[in-house]
Structure 1
Amino acid sequence: MSESRLTEFIHKADEDEALQQKLQATTCAEEVVAIGKEAGYEFSASTVMEYGWVAWWESWWKW
């Protein structure tokens, strides 16, 4: 379930510039979790890491 919520959050962030800006400022998976929680998405830091957070986070900088 946590992975599906993360996927939903990523899709939401793809369309939301404010979320994109917040995510660009993150430095760790826990910060991604906190931003997700603020937006109504529950997932764990371990799920973010398993999902390949480093590659995912770096992709935000390409916008």
Structure 2
Amino acid sequence: MAEVILVEVTMAMAMAEVTTDMEDIVMALAMEDIISVAAITATALVAGITRHTDGRTPASTEW
């Protein structure tokens, strides 16, 4: 009987560890998604600003 309880406790601890690892993976993926959305938004904002610039864009030596 004690061996059965020990096995059940060991399995429960292993499942808790797997669950924690999965939570870490999901959190990392969520952070990557947030960073991607921020980068896409920043790119769209820059594209919107530069698209409405009148005239030609001066070369860096003309600034």
Judge same fold: TM > 0.5, yes or no.
Answer: no
Higher radius of gyration, 1 or 2 = 2
Q: TM-score, length-normalised on structure 1?
A: 0.25
Q: TM-score, length-normalised on structure 2?
A: 0.25
Which one has a larger percent helix, Structure 1 or Structure 2? 2
Higher relative contact order (CA 8 A, sep 6+): 1
